[in-house]
Amino acid sequence: MTADAMIRTAPDEKPARSPVVSIVVPAYNEGEVLEAHLAAVAECLEPHRARYDFELIIVDDGSTDGTYLAASRFAEGRSDTILLRHERNRGLGAALRTGFSLACGTYVITLDSDLSYHPAYGIRMLEALIDQEADLVLASAYMPGGSVANVPWQRRVLSREANRFLSLATNARFHTLTCMVRAYRASLIASLNMSADGMEAMPEMLFAALRLGAKVIEIPARLEWTAERARGAARLNLRRVWTHMMGVLHAGLAYRPALWLGVPGLIPGLLPLIVAALLLLRVTPTVFAAATLAVLVVQYASIAILAGQATVFVGKASVARRHLTASHARKSEGASQ
Domain boundary (255, 285, 308) is at 255
Contact by Cβ (8 Å): 195, 121: no
For the purposes of burial, counting CB atoms within 10 Å of the CB of 196, is it exposed (0-12), middle (13-18) or buried (19 or more)? Answer: buried
CA distances from 82 to 96, 182, 198, 219, 249 (A): 14, 19, 22, 28, 35
Residues 164 and 224 in one domain: yes
**Domain boundary residue among 212, 239, 255?**
255
246 or 214, greater pLDDT: 214
- Among the candidates 212, 238, 255, a domain finishes at 255
Q: What is the mean pLDDT of the chain?
A: 81
- CA 200, 206, 207: angle at the middle one, nearest 5? 90
Alpha helices in the chain (DSSP H): 33-45, 67-75, 92-102, 120-131, 153-168, 186-192, 201-211, 227-232, 238-255, 259-262, 270-281, 285-336
The count of domains in the chain is: 2
Whether 197 has a pLDDT exceeding 70, the answer reads yes
User: Above 70 in pLDDT, residue 242?
Assistant: no
Q: β-strand 182-185 against 107-110: which pairing, if any? A: antiparallel
Residues 144, 149, 154, 160, Cα dihedral to 10°? -20
Query: Which residue type, as a one-letter code, is found at position 262?
Result: G
User: 38: helix, coil or strand?
Assistant: helix
How do residues 61-114 score in pLDDT, each as one tens digit?
999 999 999 999 999 999 999 999 999 999 999 999 999 999 999 999 999 999
- Compare 220 and 168 and report the one with higher pLDDT: 220
- Higher confidence at residue 249 or residue 260? 249
Is the domain of 82 the same as that of 159? yes
Residues 171 and 293 in one domain: no
Residue 203: exposure state from Cβ atoms within 10 A (0-12, 13-18, ≥19) = buried
- Tell whether the model's pLDDT for residue 129 goes beyond 80: yes
Same domain? For 276 and 248 the reply is no
Domain span at residue 148? 4-255
On whether both 240 and 311 belong to a single domain, the answer is: no
